[in-house]
Amino acid sequence: MLRPGYPTRSLLVILCLLAYGLPVPAQASEPAAARMQELKRFPAREAHQAVAVDGSAFYAISSREIGRYDKQTGQLIKLWSPPRDSHIRHLNSGIVIDGKLYCAHSNWPATPLKNTIEVFDAENLRPLQTLKFPDTTGAINWVDRRQGKWWVVFAFYGKADNVKLTRLVRYNDQWEPEAEWTFPEQVVQRFLPNSNSGGAWGPGGLLYVTGHDHGELYVLRVPEKPGVMEYVETITAPIAGQGIAWDQTEEGIMYGIIRKQKEVVKLQLKQAR
């Protein structure tokens, strides 16, 4: 064993090669980490809470408005605003499935808490249905669908002990809860003092989630048995937390938002090499 401060064996070899004028073999570099590459930005006045996406359009979502935009040109196609007497208070996220836009919605921070999923016709943004979750705690922040199940997050805010209660719940098609998971400690610490804002199932069957404002994606593995989700990695991204959406028509493409700039950002996942 070499003593502290002595050159390593590989360094001695390199020095010998240099002394004799011989070529030094290339050293293996550290593997490149996964990253999100920005492809394009679109101005969108409604880009305050989240974004959803389908084959032809993206949907910028604010607390009480939804804008449908052409995915190629960024041109506004349709704008939806609720009537004044509407129960809509805080739309949080969106996902398009079979021509329907599903938006997680709550009246947080008002009490008593009322959680719903608002369903719209994705093409014309006509409201179709309100799914109610009367016996739930925590604000419903996002919804997604995978392997014939619905996945919903109920978020808690404030101090760490409260934010730790934030949970992912799996539902069947009758919207009956089947299982639930909480977030790992290192992710909870990044959420503070807010909570999990967005989430979507991504490549490799992994779950990608965001906090309230950090330019980061937290990649998680959801074990078969209920409990605590497994932390995989953190990926930096040119967004600012909030609701995200994977484009199911373009592999590795995600949409996010920067709420302060009212922008929708198109991203491409570059996997680690």
Q: What is the per-residue pLDDT across 87-121, written as a single tens digit (0 to 9) for each?
A: 999 999 999 999 999 999 999 889 999 999 999 99
pLDDT at residue 28, rounded to an integer? 38
Of 265, 249, 162, the closest CA to residue 210 belongs to 265
Measured CA to CA, the distance from residue 182 to residue 186 in angstroms comes to 12
pLDDT at residue 32, rounded to an integer? 56
Q: Choose the CATH number for 32-270 among 3.40.50.620, 3.10.20.600, 2.120.10.30, 2.30.30.60.
A: 2.120.10.30
Give the domain ranges of the chain: 32-270
pLDDT at residue 138, rounded to an integer? 97
Q: What is the per-residue pLDDT across 207-260, written as a single tens digit (0 to 9) for each?
A: 999 999 999 999 999 999 999 999 999 999 999 999 999 999 999 999 999 999
Measured CA to CA, the distance from residue 253 to residue 36 in angstroms comes to 9
Mean pLDDT, residues 45-58 taken together: 98
Distance set, CA 30 to CA 69, 160, 273 (Å): 41, 34, 9
**Six token digits for residue 39:** 């492809």
Assessment of whether the complete model's pTM goes beyond 0.85: yes
